[in-house]
């Protein structure tokens, strides 16, 4: 019999471990009982793939767990999906829509470590676990097929990297339709056997309350961490935590430093994609540096290549496209064999499309997407991320995004979009723009200076807090 994907959930010694989502709490035993009811219903329907409206609720957790117990592939529909996106996901996946329902009161109130009567099937590790849809920034969203084997490998690698055990309690408030919130944030605890406290709305107060309730690990995206850093009283509550983790976008250096000051913790950053799960992470027992996403996790290899496809030096300075291979990679894009083939090199490495540097000690720094964050200006290859890091160090800058826009002379000229700090205030003028430009010249070089500085009220972001740079130009 193969090892269960959710081995912690099925471990009798973990039966009393709590899982809380917003105001609903189930023990592992109660969750297993309720999810087994879903699994049995799915088996009666002989379904192989279901689509669910993945709200941040216990309903979603029970349904996802039930489907995985039954060996049914899950297609989470983002809670913020519009009618067009929803229709595309359903049409493309061919999944049957499954109505999620709340656990019955007798299950919710169950305290004894009972076992499910339903006999769970032995599901192959190679079977599909999820079809997760990409953001669709370059066309219609593509369905990413993730096997149970890849999910298990990814979670085990993070357990190793973060010293994550059944003694931990994970707290977060992330959406439950993507890798960060669902795979890491729900399946991670259920595989490892740790407690889970989903705080609902991810406010600084909610994170502080989770800390006071005994949470030891915290997941968040940079937007959330920025808000925590702005609330010293709530941030101080996180001093009792064991580990703070940030992902989905780069954590600004000033936020990293402020959190270190307020919480006593240096945040662990990590890197991954829907197609690869988490491939690089700062280790709990390793060095933590602002802007560094760590080293490859167990079972994963990385390399950098230039535009000609040849390897580039791992000297911490030379930019290259990051490519990865290993046990955590996806099985392919659903129904798109050509796109799947194009995503891999001839020797089997996945092309991430991200630009990075790798230092001699193996630590990775992500510059950004090659399509929007690698700027070619005046014959130079410039990473937008390094300019953004410098600009964020100025006290008048709350947020920023640097892009390259077409230029007849330079090829691309560097434009910085700045959200001023301490709003509302009169819109900054040319003096601040010149000061920011001079700052980049002093800290980096003349050719990396913004040719234009634009002040805006806010940057366009998606659900995960990533800046949508294509909406800036």
Could you read off the pLDDT of 168-217 as tens digits, one per residue? 999 999 999 989 999 999 999 999 999 999 999 999 999 999 999 999 99
Q: Flag whether 333 is in a domain.
A: yes
Lowest mean pLDDT among 136-145, 170-179, 199-208, 442-451: 136-145
What separation in angstroms does the CA of 253 have from each of 21, 130, 212, 260, 455? 31, 34, 27, 11, 21
Max CA distance (Å), the chain: 73
pLDDT at 114 over 60: no
pTM of the model: 0.82
pLDDT in tens, 368-415: 777 677 787 876 678 787 788 889 889 889 888 898 888 877 878 899
Q: Which residues pair with 295 in a beta bridge?
A: 281
**Average pLDDT score over residue span 227-248:** 95
Tokens 């023990």 found at: 27
Domain range for 358: 12-366
Q: Please say whether the beta carbons of 223 and 203 come within 8 A.
A: no
Tokens 């205030």 found at: 425
pLDDT score at 112 = 47
Same structural domain for residues 299 and 389? no
- The pLDDT-based confidence of 161 (bands split at 50, 70, 90) is very high
Same structural domain for residues 222 and 346? yes
Same structural domain for residues 157 and 265? yes
Same structural domain for residues 405 and 450? yes
> Which carries the bigger pLDDT value, residue 252 or residue 306?
306
- The pLDDT-based confidence of 115 (bands split at 50, 70, 90) is very low
pLDDT at 116 over 60: no
Q: Flag whether 373 is in a domain.
A: no
Reading the block at residue 139, the tokens are 């066309």
Same structural domain for residues 298 and 176? yes
**Average pLDDT score over residue span 222-228:** 90
pLDDT in tens, 4-19: 999 999 999 999 999 9
Give the separation between CA 178 and CA 273, rounded to whole angstroms.
Answer: 10
pLDDT score at 470 = 79
Q: Which residues pair with 75 in a beta bridge?
A: 51
Give the separation between CA 170 and CA 196, rounded to whole angstroms.
Answer: 5
Q: What is the CATH number of the domain that holds 410?
A: 3.30.300.30
Give the separation between CA 121 and CA 227, rounded to whole angstroms.
Answer: 44
Angle of the 384-392 helix axis to the 253-263 helix axis, nearest 10: 50
Cis omega before residue 284 (within 30°)? no
Residues near 49 by beta carbon (within 8 Å), at least 6 away in sequence: 72, 73, 74, 75, 93, 94, 95, 96, 128, 131
- The pLDDT-based confidence of 117 (bands split at 50, 70, 90) is low
pLDDT score at 110 = 55
pLDDT score at 251 = 86
Same structural domain for residues 283 and 431? no
What separation in angstroms does the CA of 242 have from each of 214, 217, 245, 267, 337? 10, 6, 10, 10, 43
Same structural domain for residues 47 and 102? yes
pLDDT in tens, 261-279: 999 999 999 999 999 999 9
Give the separation between CA 230 and CA 208, rounded to whole angstroms.
Answer: 13
β-sheet with 49-54: strand ranges across:
96-97, 49-54, 73-78, 128-133, 143-147, 332-333
- Sign, CA dihedral 385-224-254-242, equals negative
Same structural domain for residues 465 and 325? no
What separation in angstroms does the CA of 10 have from each of 4, 109, 130, 148, 152? 8, 19, 20, 16, 15
- The pLDDT-based confidence of 79 (bands split at 50, 70, 90) is confident
Same structural domain for residues 296 and 337? yes
Residues near 36 by beta carbon (within 8 Å), at least 6 away in sequence: 66, 69, 116, 117, 118, 120
pLDDT in tens, 416-436: 999 998 765 556 677 899 999
Q: What is the CATH number of the domain that holds 279?
A: 3.40.50.12780
pLDDT at 113 over 50: no
Q: Which residues pair with 169 in a beta bridge?
A: 195
> Which carries the bigger pLDDT value, residue 462 or residue 391?
391
């Amino acid at each position: 019999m193969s090892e269960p994907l959710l081995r912690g959930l099925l471990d009798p010694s973990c039966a009393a471990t709590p899982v809380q989502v917003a105001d609903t709490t189930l023990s592992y035993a109660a969750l297993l009982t309720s999810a087994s009811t879903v699994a049995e219903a799915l088996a009666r329907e002989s379904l192989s793939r279901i689509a669910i409206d993945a709200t941040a609720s216990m309903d979603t957790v029970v349904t996802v767990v039930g489907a995985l117990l039954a060996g049914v592939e899950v297609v989470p529909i983002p809670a913020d999906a519009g009618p067009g996106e929803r229709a595309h996901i359903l049409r493309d996946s061919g999944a049957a829509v499954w109505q999620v329902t709340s656990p019955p009161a007798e299950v919710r109130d169950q305290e004894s470590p009972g076992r499910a009567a339903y006999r769970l099937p032995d599901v192959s590790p190679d079977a599909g676990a999820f079809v997760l849809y990409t953001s669709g920034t370059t066309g219609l969203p593509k369905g990413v097929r993730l096997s149970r084997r890849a999910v298990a490998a990814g979670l085990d690698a993070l357990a190793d990297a973060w010293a994550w055990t059944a003694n931990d309690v994970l707290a977060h408030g992330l959406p439950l339709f993507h890798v960060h919130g669902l795979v890491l944030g729900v399946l991670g605890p259920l595989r490892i056997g740790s407690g889970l406290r989903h705080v609902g709305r991810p406010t600084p107060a909610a994170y502080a309350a989770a800390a006071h309730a005994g949470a030891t690990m915290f997941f968040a995206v940079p937007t959330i961490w920025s808000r925590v850093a702005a609330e010293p009283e709530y941030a101080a509550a996180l001093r009792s935590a064991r580990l703070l983790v940030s992902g989905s976008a780069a954590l600004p250096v000033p936020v990293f430093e402020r959190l270190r000051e307020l919480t006593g913790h240096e945040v662990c950053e990590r890197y991954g994609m829907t197609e690869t799960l988490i491939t690089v992470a700062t280790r709990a027992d390793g060095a933590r540096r602002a802007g560094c996403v760590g080293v490859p996790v167990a079972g994963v290899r990385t390399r950098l290549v230039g535009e000609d496809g040849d390897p580039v030096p791992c000297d911490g300075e030379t930019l290259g496209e990051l490519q990865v291979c290993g046990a955590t990679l996806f099985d392919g894009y659903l129904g798109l064999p050509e796109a799947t083939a194009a995503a891999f090199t001839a020797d089997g490495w996945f092309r991430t499309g991200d630009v990075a540097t790798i230092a001699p000690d193996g630590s990775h720094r992500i510059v950004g997407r090659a399509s929007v964050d690698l700027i070619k200006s005046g014959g130079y290859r410039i990473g937008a991320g390094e300019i953004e890091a410098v600009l964020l160090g100025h006290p008048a800058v709350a947020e920023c995004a640097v892009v390259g826009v077409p230029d007849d002379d330079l090829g691309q000229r560097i434009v910085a979009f700045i959200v001023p700090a301490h709003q509302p205030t009169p819109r900054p003028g040319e003096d601040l723009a010149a000061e920011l430009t001079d700052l980049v010249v002093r800290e980096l070089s003349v050719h990396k200076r913004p040719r234009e500085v634009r002040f805006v009220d806010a940057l366009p972001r998606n659900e995960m807090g990533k800046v949508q740079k294509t909406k800036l130009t």
